Structure 1
């Protein structure tokens, strides 16, 4: 506890946030329960740990007496300390080592990589700064798939490792050591039948990983903390591709998805929407991204692409980890606003559903109106953990997540043209403007067709995409203008 009391506010905030994320409770309950007792005047209305004083954070942490809880808090302090005491970059530091430092020096590193490695079943690789092996530039990349177990935890079901040359070093299915509630086949691609004759255990995989990570090998992955958590392996020499790239979304930096980076840097999609993950290809993609970063210069590769999404996605909220005992229509009691419920295929004791609103604004307002701490998922999309009580008296919780990141460039699909009786008699000036708006996109389309016919069409791919975007924007302008005209005409004639 002495280490915690002497920690900086940044460390204290991380500890409290992690305690919230893990659902940890002290003698006064969780963080919000504590605030209701500690500060009755303000209470949970100011629940963001970053906006609370260090004294309040320490007071909350002092309510914990369980030895494992205190060990975990100490682990977070140690992780922060290892970041703070990282040696300054040397002139001869290799690009690979530069990327390790960029990962470990990232503001989100301590919060994501503070593992409960003191617990039984974890493996920790040796980390000796004076060891020559710590200057190794050897790289291997990993990706894992996990299933949902009956007790609500995740279990490793497949692991793939490739080397710098993208050659397979490990590709195996893993038999979960607990009863499985949901194989998440739509994501993992794994079914119960696939595991019938599998004998490989988590311990077997850990032994293989420890051999691969010997002598200072650097481990590469995307949101690698999730893979290490599933493997129950702690390794300090890591490169996390979700942390080493600065990725723009609108006017803000955000943590990119693997698909974002592959499209922006490698020029291809690692997976199509709705398709299962390919564990092996995801590992290769992470390695390719690191090699591209090394070849392009550690500080030079900065994607500046906006994440474009359509309003059809932006007008939805994803409700996930809903208890199977709560029917989908009960979401109408939990989430504010006017929406319809679109159920996804249930699995195990949890399922997911979409709350579909009329537009993005109503979806945003409903999300903002939910009582819960605002967090981000691994791709940077905002979500909240919601505790609810139904009219029937049933308690529970679920996650509600936006389908887009803040700052995403939302593309609005063109609406149907207003009917002639809606536009009635138009002023000559407006008719001329409409005619210009309608004809220019057609001209652009003709230009696009001519470009496609060109023998060197690959050169003009980007130009074609730009023209398509202009067409979409013009369609939107036409639709908006028609709506404005229709409203003005109705107003003028008292319709």
Structure 2
């Protein structure tokens, strides 16, 4: 259908669009005028006469009536993502949670209505997070909900530098979480798709269980093919939309973030859901002052500063890092050292398993037992991203690198190989090159085995999660 529309005569397209207007027909982005407002930001619906619009815009509107279920596909991409079972397993569901059941499945699956949500959270004294602001927009970016919320717990940190909200802003607020849940239920009728970036964090603080979702952190693929990256909203907007949501260091704007998430989904639909959309994830610059720190994350709330100083040795200050979208059970902190060398030494002395984080950066997992007898893990990572080890190479390591480089160039210039072998020792070189090759083969084999186990675990987690949701849904009926 799409190919026929693209090549159709403009007069035919104009007649079809006029007929759609007359009958009040709506595509995935609404009627003709609604479509113009979202598709053509420059003119919008101010020039709504179809005969005055370009062939491209007419074809794009008619393609919104295509039977290809783009939105359904985006929901599937979210549900099938390897991180979904881990992120969306809300194990702490209690009586304050609401579960929105989708009863009439045939009507639900046909719904093309969309709303995007974004929330701001504060840290409470009991270590959990509470909702303080929520914004919802529709596919035209029109505001459907923009509300401050009064938490029912004592607040330990307003995170004003991130949320932009202070205690004074909440003094006259009477809206509760229960009020917001009622509003959200009204905004999600008959299968409306809920959009958000790292949406699981918003659902968790809203205490809302809903399955027809599109997570913008899942629906774009990085150029390196990694499926475990969760790009920040700012990076994603810069890569896909060509602009950032906010300047670095500026507080978050809940409304801007909700609109950004919706714009990302619209961009994905416009590009073609089933077409590959690899994006370059722009690396953020890391200054020298930031490099003289270690990142400690996934720290259970039961772990205090004294315990952290036992895990990471050295002279440093602990800075708890405000988390806008944390899980409530954990927090993140920075170990700030006087210089880069001290930070490097401290990292090398951390006793833990060497792993990689979701961005592929090296880190260490430290497992230890608390005084209560509970066994917990925390992760320690260096801030520098350009070199995995960030250590000055030894003289022998430099010699090895030179020998390996010489071996690669040997076909081009045999004299280079002879000189390199003479300076390093032919026997030593061959032995070490063989050792390196053997280690590389073993490493590749280990990585393949780990990836296979990871896939099996992910599948099992997904099956358990689906069963959990099914049981929860049956209990609510």
Question: Normalising by structure 1, what TM-score?
Answer: 0.54
1:297-334 superposed Cα distances (whole Å, 9 cap, x missing partner): 11332103452433624452134669899668x85543
- Equivalent residue, structure 2, for 1:355: 336
1:122-157 superposed Cα distances (whole Å, 9 cap, x missing partner): 111122463313211111000011111111111111
- Equivalent residue, structure 2, for 1:142: 117
- Find the aligned partners of 2:321 and 2:280 in 1 and give their Cα distance: 36
- Equivalent residue, structure 1, for 2:425: none
Query: Structure 1 residues 200, 106: CA separation in 2 closer, same or farther (over 3 Å shift)?
Result: same
- Equivalent residue, structure 1, for 2:214: 239
- Equivalent residue, structure 2, for 1:369: 350
1:97, distance to aligned residue in structure 2 (A): 1.2
- Find the aligned partners of 2:247 and 2:362 in 1 and give their Cα distance: 22
- Equivalent residue, structure 2, for 1:104: 79
Q: Which one is further off, 168-177 or 123-132?
A: 123-132
Query: Structure 1 residues 310, 99: CA separation in 2 closer, same or farther (over 3 Å shift)?
Result: same
1:372, distance to aligned residue in structure 2 (A): 7.0
Helix, strand or coil: the match of 2:276?
A: coil
Q: Would you say the 8 A contact 1:270–1:282 is kept in 2?
A: yes
Query: Structure 1 residues 324, 206: CA separation in 2 closer, same or farther (over 3 Å shift)?
Result: closer
Map 1:217-256 onto structure 2 (within 5 A).
217-248=192-223, 254-256=229-231
- Find the aligned partners of 1:381 and 1:365 in 2 and give their Cα distance: 17
2:191 aligned with 1:177, yes or no?
Answer: no
Which consecutive unaligned segments of at least 5 residues does structure 2 have? 1-65, 324-329, 389-477
1:365, distance to aligned residue in structure 2 (A): 7.7
- Equivalent residue, structure 2, for 1:438: none
1:213, distance to aligned residue in structure 2 (A): 0.6
- Equivalent residue, structure 2, for 1:4: none
- Equivalent residue, structure 2, for 1:153: 128
2:283 aligned with 1:307, yes or no?
Answer: yes
Helix, strand or coil: the match of 2:102?
A: coil
Q: Would you say the 8 A contact 1:381–1:401 is kept in 2?
A: no
2:292 aligned with 1:318, yes or no?
Answer: no
- Find the aligned partners of 1:177 and 1:373 in 2 and give their Cα distance: 41
1:226-247 superposed Cα distances (whole Å, 9 cap, x missing partner): 0001001111110001111112
Query: Structure 1 residues 126, 396: CA separation in 2 closer, same or farther (over 3 Å shift)?
Result: closer
Q: Would you say the 8 A contact 2:294–2:343 is kept in 1?
A: no
The RMSD of aligned alpha carbons is 4.1
- Equivalent residue, structure 2, for 1:277: 252
Which consecutive unaligned segments of at least 5 residues does structure 1 have? 1-90, 412-495
Q: Would you say the 8 A contact 1:317–1:403 is kept in 2?
A: yes
- Equivalent residue, structure 2, for 1:402: 381
Q: Would you say the 8 A contact 2:124–2:154 is kept in 1?
A: yes
1:22-68 superposed Cα distances (whole Å, 9 cap, x missing partner): xxxxxxxxxxxxxxxxxxxxxxxxxxxxxxxxxxxxxxxxxxxxxxx
Q: Would you say the 8 A contact 1:386–1:398 is kept in 2?
A: yes
1:258, distance to aligned residue in structure 2 (A): 0.8
- Equivalent residue, structure 1, for 2:269: 294
1:178-236 superposed Cα distances (whole Å, 9 cap, x missing partner): 11111111211111111111000000000000000111100000000000010011111
Q: Would you say the 8 A contact 1:381–1:404 is kept in 2?
A: no
Query: Structure 1 residues 157, 252: CA separation in 2 closer, same or farther (over 3 Å shift)?
Result: closer
1:93, distance to aligned residue in structure 2 (A): 3.6
Aligned residue-pair number: 314
- Equivalent residue, structure 1, for 2:312: 335
